[in-house]
Each structure stands twice: as structure tokens, then as C-alpha cells.
Structure 1
Amino acid sequence: MKNILLFFILFSSSVLANTHQHNSQSTHKAHSYVGFHGMALILAGDKILASHLPLYAPPHDYQIVYEVTTNNTNLKKIKSVLKKAANEQRLITILPAKFDLNLLINKKTPTLNITVFNGHFERGGKELFTTKLTFKNPLYVEKVTTDKAQKNAFSLVKLTEQQGLIIHKIQSKPSYDSLSLVPLTKGEYNGELKCNTAINTALKSKLEACFKSVPSYLETKDLSVN
């Protein structure tokens, strides 16, 4: 009798474990991050940075910034495009071929086929050229959360001893995505890592006043309340 009872206990445990595993796999598949993930490109000194264009919902609910590189010929080409765009305060975006964003979420270093656009690739941007980009160094990977009350939180990423990148953390709706390059002194930022901002037409000027630098990238439209 004891043996029979033990058999049923073990059998039930096995069924429950398999059911849990199946449910976990189904949940994972339901939150697939395979798709087309547009990004903004900016030039930071001698580095090229790619910033994933985040949204509130999967498969785009991650703020991700990587240092990227490519072969010498296209590296010079991209840097030239970015320098000109920065001087004219224009946006340069890229659209990689369909891929799994989990590669970047898990801080892997893939090489992806990408198309470079003058302007926003979804808002009338002009296709410039195609190339391959290697995502060589993860600088910032954070999941977008909308359940935190603090609306104006910023993170500082040290790029070199002389330059840092300030990123606005998306925490509640409505919000915005911004990247500001700031000078560092021996790897330290001498300013304040805060800015009381409202999402309006003066946002860009307010960020510039706070960080003494025109934002290299600023997006509000995709992060308005939906």
C-alpha cells in the first residue's frame, strides 16, 4: 500500500513539473522579441553608438545602448554622415534585418545587416546605404517599466575618461527617450544628474539647460500616453 501511495505522489509531481515547464515555455513564446528593431545612431567622440527605439510594450520594451562598429570603409562613411547630421541637428536611424532582441538584452555581440536612414526610418527617412554592424560593447540595457512614480530619473554611462552619456530612464507614462553627451573630468561628472522636465515643446531646451548640451537624441511621439 505504501509503495502504491509513493508511486502516485511521484507521478503527480512529475505531471505538475511538466505542466509548469510547458506553461513557462508558452509564456516565453508569447513574449518573443524577434522582430524589426529600429535604432538611432549618434557619434560620441570616436565611438558610434546605437540606441534601440523603445516602446512601452514587447517586443520593444527595452532601452538598449551599444557601441557598434563595422569595416573601415563603411566606418568612415557612417562617421561622416553622423558628423554632418550632428552639426545640422538631424536624426540618423538604422533598421536591422529581422532579429531577436534577446541577443542584445543578454548582452551578446552579434553582427547584423542594417540599412542607414537620413531621418526616422518610419517617418519619411531617406534610405542612404546598407552595411553590417557589429554590436561590440553593451553600454546600457534596461527594461522599460511604467509602474514607478519617479518620472525624471537619469543614468550616466562613462564612455571615456573625458565623456559620458546621460540617458533618461523611461518609468511612467507619458515619457520620453533622450541621450545627452556630457564632459567628464577624470571619469567624473561635475554636474547634477537630474532635470525637472515637462513633456512639451520646451523639453529640448530644458534638457540643454540642465546638462549644458543639446540632446543628441530626443523622442516623445512614440512614448505619449496610449
Structure 2
Amino acid sequence: MTYVIDSFRLLNHRIKEMLAMKALWLMLFCMSSPLWACLHASHGIHGMVLLQVENQLIASHLPFPAGKHAHQIVLQVSSDMPASVAQALKEKRLVTLEPQPFALKDLQQGKLKSFNAQVYLGHFERGGQDAGTVTVQVQQKLLDKAVGAVAEQNGVYHIPLKQGELLVKAISGEGAVDEILYQTKGKTAEQLYFESADFAPQEK
């Protein structure tokens, strides 16, 4: 009888050790930021339009009206762009980025300092020409607003730059447009980007 009790205790002890080991591995898994980021709901491909304003690069997240992409985020960035892309930006032609997947929350919280991306002449989801892979350095976050947030003035977010300001239209939801303009003091605002298809379900 004593032998049976001792065997039962030994088995019970080993089971507890196994459970403790599994708990430890689970904790280490959750503490690993690359793996944890992959589990976050905001993880995905966050396309961006790339603009050149006042001799600096501006990247604007391409939002959707709902879900994990429902955020208007504008960044000041830097990168060594291929000659064809640099020329397209100078001519104010459409240039977009298809970054490698990352958690948008990491970008919003300032944890993501750089990312690799395919750069396209045109829209990366609508027949744009792949111009190569680039590394994008995040210099500064200029805007971070949820879709549907109320803008300060006339439905527009004002982002001051050295010589003028970016005017980013606040996106209210389905059927809205993603529009960015640039205005210097005393001059008419110049449209840099205008896109409505991202908000039409049949185009997604």
C-alpha cells in the first residue's frame, strides 16, 4: 500500500513539473516581441502612399473605414530610393509602399523604427510597377487618428512643416476619400494625393 502511495506521489510530482515547464515556455513565447507581434490583431500589410514635400519624404498609411487598417497615420521618413522612384516623386506621380507585415500598434507606439518594403510606381494593389526593395527609416510621426475621429478645423488635420503645412482630410468612414494637400502661406493649396477606391467595397 505504501509503495502505491509513493508511486502516486511521484507521478503527481512529475506532472506538476511538466505543467510548470509548459507554463515557463508559454511565458517565454509571449515575452518574445517578434512572435508576440505576429499574434497582435493589428499585424498585417499596411500599405502607404509616398510623397515628397519640401525635399522630405512623407508616408501616409492607406486606411480602410473599419478594422485594423482604420487609422490615418502620417509619417516623416527617410530612405534611399531608386532613381526611377525619385524622379516619379519629383514629378508628383503616384508612388506606394508595400511594407513587410508588422503590427500597426508598434508603429503607433514608436517601437517600429524602420521597415523593409517593396516600392511601386503606381498603386501596389492595382497594377503598379515594382521598383525594388527599400528600407524605410521612421523619423517622426506627424499624425495618428482613428477613422471617424473629429478633426480640429473643417474636417481637416493641419500638419505644420517648415515652409507650409500638410492638409489631411479627416476620413469619416465608408464612402469618404483619402485626400492630402500642401499649402504655403498666401498660396492656393496643392493636391498631392486623392483616393476614393479604398473605401468602395467592390474595389477591396
Q: Is this contact kept in 2: 1:109–1:136, CA < 8 A?
A: no
2:46 match: 37
Secondary structure at 1:216 match in 2: strand
Question: Rg larger in 1 or in 2?
Answer: 2
Secondary structure at 1:93 match in 2: strand
1:156 match: 158
Query: Pairwise mapping of residues 1-226 of structure 1 onto structure 2 (< 5 A)?
Result: 32-70=41-79, 74-75=80-81, 77=82, 81-87=85-91, 89-145=92-148, 153-160=155-162, 162-184=163-185, 212-224=188-200
| TM-score for the superposition, normalised by structure 1 | 0.64
| TM-score for the superposition, normalised by structure 2 | 0.71
The verdict on how the C-alpha distance between 1:172 and 1:95 changes in structure 2, with shifts beyond 3 A counting, is closer
Identity level (%): 30
Q: Is this contact kept in 2: 1:67–1:139, CA < 8 A?
A: yes
Shift of 1:107: 3.5
Shift of 1:84: 3.2
2:16 match: none
When structure 1 is superposed on structure 2, of 213-222 and 45-54 the one drifting more is 213-222
Deviations 1:110-159 (A, max 9, x none): 2101111000000000100111111110000001128x7xxx61011002
Compare the two structures and name the one with the higher strand fraction. 2
Secondary structure at 2:88 match in 1: helix
When structure 1 is superposed on structure 2, of 172-181 and 118-127 the one drifting more is 172-181
Q: Which runs of 5+ in 1 are unaligned?
A: 1-28, 185-189, 191-210
The verdict on how the C-alpha distance between 1:119 and 1:102 changes in structure 2, with shifts beyond 3 A counting, is same
Q: What stretches of structure 1 move > 4 A for 4+ residues in a row?
A: none
Count of residue pairs brought into register by the alignment: 163
**Aligned amino acid, residue 81 of structure 1:** V
Q: Is this contact kept in 2: 1:109–1:137, CA < 8 A?
A: no
